[in-house]
């Protein structure tokens, strides 16, 4: 490839990814845009545990056992690592179709639908597939220009299709999907244990100390206890309930999304084709299944590909230093998502490239299209 190397800082692929995610640490961390509730989660967990370590642990270590704070520390570290793993990892985002794939799919749809009489709405874009002798409908995603794989869904908050989409959790500041569901489940499970643990030992501490010095002075000596008990009490109901709910879903190999939509419930509906009909097998598949790698390649380096050999169409390529993925922003079917707001890093260039490229595309289509596509084939 006779690319002319321009000496400037390498652009990584995460900078040009469509969708409403924020990236940190040069693409290593991937989260949703709204992170406020995530910071609240962090504050509550770290704050409550700090109070526990400061007020209760010294007394309990001496009067009961030093294992108590040690186990609390281990549990706290596990909760934090599961939370950070859930929040920072790619949930299983499906990259959007490149233009050639999108047009290939369009053609397949047109061929399947035949001629639609003028004035009539074209039929909905649905593909039927048979999975384990059940008919499952695959829907077409107008934003990502793909037929969503089974169990995938489009998250409107992150503007991405996510594989095995469970739900978008504001508490962890990310979607929960195929790649991070087990971390999310372990987070809720370990947080339940931690909350129960702190709550129990708070009560034990207050009882033991009150025996010695009376209830009121105990509260005066360790005021943090009241706060901890309050936080734990309210957290317990929600987190333990959530853990129970997800345990139920895992045993049936269902996602929250499917449960809410009622995809597999009811007599006339299809039975869940993904369930092994065995609770142990279902749990093992979800929790001990293979760790899927990310297909996003966030930290891959984008190479600027100038077009030396076909002077006929340099304008569409050179004014477009970003890869062909952004061409999907000139949609075949218009949708309400404006791509410009999703890509703040190329905000300056994208309005420029949008307007000139679309009319030029039409005029230069036949002779230059093979050359334009060639760039993406590198």
Partner 1 sequence: MATEFHNLQELRHSASLANKVFIQRDYSEGTVCKFHTKFPSELDSRIERTLFEDTVKTLNNFYAEAEKIGGQSYLEGCLACATAYLIFLCIETRYEKVLKKISRYIQEQNEKIYAPRGLLITDPVERGMRVIEISVYEDRGSSGSTSGSSSTTSSSGQ
Burial of 175 (0-12, 13-18, 19+ CB in 10 A): buried
Q: Would you say the C-alpha torsion 165, 98, 353, 301 has a positive or negative sign?
A: positive
* Under rule CB under 8 A, residue 43 binds partner 1: no
Site for partner 1 in 169-198 (CB under 8 A): 183, 186
Sole binder of partner 1 in the list 12, 53, 64, 106 (CB under 8 A) = 106
Q: Which of 169, 232, 283, 288 is catalytic?
A: 169
Closest CA to 97 of 307, 328, 352: 328
Q: Total residues at the site for partner 1 (CB under 8 A)?
A: 51
Residues 6 or more apart in contact with residue 72 via CB below 8 angstroms? 49, 52, 53, 57, 194, 197, 198, 201
Distance CA 172, CA 45 (A): 12
**Residue nearer to partner 1 on the CB measure, 32 or 146:** 146
Closest CA to 374 of 295, 300, 312: 312
Q: Would you say the C-alpha torsion 337, 341, 345, 350 has a positive or negative sign?
A: positive
The residue whose two tokens read 């879903």 is 249
* Under rule CB under 8 A, residue 107 binds partner 1: yes
Query: What is the nearest approach in angstroms of partner 1 to the Cβ of residue 229?
Result: 28
**Residue nearer to partner 1 on the CB measure, 66 or 370:** 370
Query: What track of x and - describes contact with partner 1 for positions 135 through 174 (by CB under 8 A)?
Result: -x-x-------x--xxx------------x----------
Q: Which stretch binds partner 1 (CB under 8 A): 46-54, 77-85, 214-222, 348-356?
A: 77-85
Q: Which residues bind partner 1 (CB under 8 A)?
A: 1, 77-78, 81-82, 85, 94-95, 97-98, 100-101, 103-104, 106-107, 129-132, 136, 138, 146, 149-151, 164, 183, 186, 273-274, 284-285, 287-293, 295, 297, 332, 365-366, 369-371, 373-374, 377
């Amino acid at each position: 490839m006779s690319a002319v190397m321009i000496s400037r800082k390498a652009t990584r692929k995460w900078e040009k990814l469509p969708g409403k995610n924020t990236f940190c640490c040069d693409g290593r961390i991937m989260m949703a845009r709204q992170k406020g509730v995530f910071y609240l989660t962090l504050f509550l967990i770290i704050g409550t545990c700090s109070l526990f370590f400061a007020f209760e642990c010294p007394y309990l270590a001496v009067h009961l056992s030093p294992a108590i704070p040690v186990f609390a520390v281990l549990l706290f570290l596990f909760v934090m690592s599961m939370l950070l793993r859930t929040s920072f990892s790619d949930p299983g985002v499906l990259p959007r179709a490149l233009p050639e794939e999108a047009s290939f799919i369009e053609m397949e749809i047109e061929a399947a639908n035949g001629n639609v009489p003028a004035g009539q709405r074209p039929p909905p874009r649905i593909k039927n597939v048979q999975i384990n002798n059940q008919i499952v409908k695959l829907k077409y995603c107008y934003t990502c220009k793909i037929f969503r794989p089974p169990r995938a869904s489009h998250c409107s908050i992150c503007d991405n299709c996510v594989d095995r989409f469970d739900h978008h959790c504001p508490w962890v500041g990310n979607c929960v999907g195929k790649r991070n569901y087990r971390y999310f489940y372990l987070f809720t499970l370990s947080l339940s244990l931690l909350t129960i643990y702190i709550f129990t030992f708070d009560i034990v501490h207050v009882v033991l100390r009150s025996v010695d010095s009376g209830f009121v002075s105990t509260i005066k000596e360790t005021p943090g206890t009241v706060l901890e008990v309050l936080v734990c009490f309210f957290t317990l109901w929600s987190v333990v309930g959530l853990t129970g709910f997800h345990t139920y879903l895992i045993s049936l190999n269902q996602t929250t999304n499917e449960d809410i939509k009622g995809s597999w419930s009811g007599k006339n509906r299809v039975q869940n084709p993904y369930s092994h009909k065995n609770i142990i097998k279902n749990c093992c598949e979800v929790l001990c299944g293979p760790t899927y790698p990310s297909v996003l390649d966030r930290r891959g380096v984008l190479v600027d590909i100038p077009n030396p050999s076909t002077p006929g169409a340099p304008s569409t390529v050179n004014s477009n230093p970003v890869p062909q993925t952004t061409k999907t922003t000139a949609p075949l079917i218009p949708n309400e998502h404006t791509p410009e707001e999703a890509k703040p890093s190329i905000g300056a260039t994208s309005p420029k490239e949008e307007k000139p490229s679309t009319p030029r595309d039409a005029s230069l289509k036949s002779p230059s299209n093979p050359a334009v596509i060639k760039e993406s084939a590198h």
